[in-house]
Amino acid sequence: MHERLRKWMSNESLKPSKLAENIKVNRATISHILSGRNKPSIEFLQKLLNNYSDLNANWLITGVGYMKKNQNIKESDNDKKIDKIVVFFDDNSFDELKR
């Protein structure tokens, strides 16, 4: 979950100190969560989601769905894109399709 929180913060151009200030938690709390040392508490999640109502709690907690509630493009922990497709034929020839 800390990686999704980091990804969301990057998307929002939000520094850890500013997030801590905005949701009224100690800076160390944010630091420990982002490092993976601590898991976020329910109280932390409530403060975060109350202050950032467009953040999708399901995505943040489970990684399923969209980063933002009103978003129609699915976020993924995997940012890979198809570069090329190779098609092999039964005569041992092939074609390469590039994007």
Inside any domain, residue 30: yes
The domain in which residue 21 lies consists of 2-62
Residue 95 is predicted with a pLDDT of 84
Measured CA distances, 83 to 77, 80, 86, 96, 97 (Å)? 18, 9, 10, 10, 9
| CATH code of the domain in which 48 resides | 1.10.260.40
Which of 31 and 92 is assigned the larger pLDDT? 31
- pLDDT at position 92: 85
Give CA 2 to chain center in angstroms: 9
Q: What is the pLDDT at residue 5?
A: 95
- pLDDT tens for 14-51 read 999 999 999 999 999 999 999 999 999 999 999 999 99
The reply to whether 88 falls in a domain is no
Output the six-digit token pair for 91. Answer: 């005569």
Q: How many domains is the chain built from? A: 1
**Residue pLDDT, tens place only, 49-91:** 999 999 999 999 998 888 998 776 554 555 667 777 888 888 9
96: in domain: no
Model's pTM, two decimal places?
0.68
Give a yes or no: residue 91 inside a domain.
no
The answer to the question of residue 24 being in a domain is yes
What pLDDT, on a 0 to 100 scale, did the predictor assign at position 78?
56
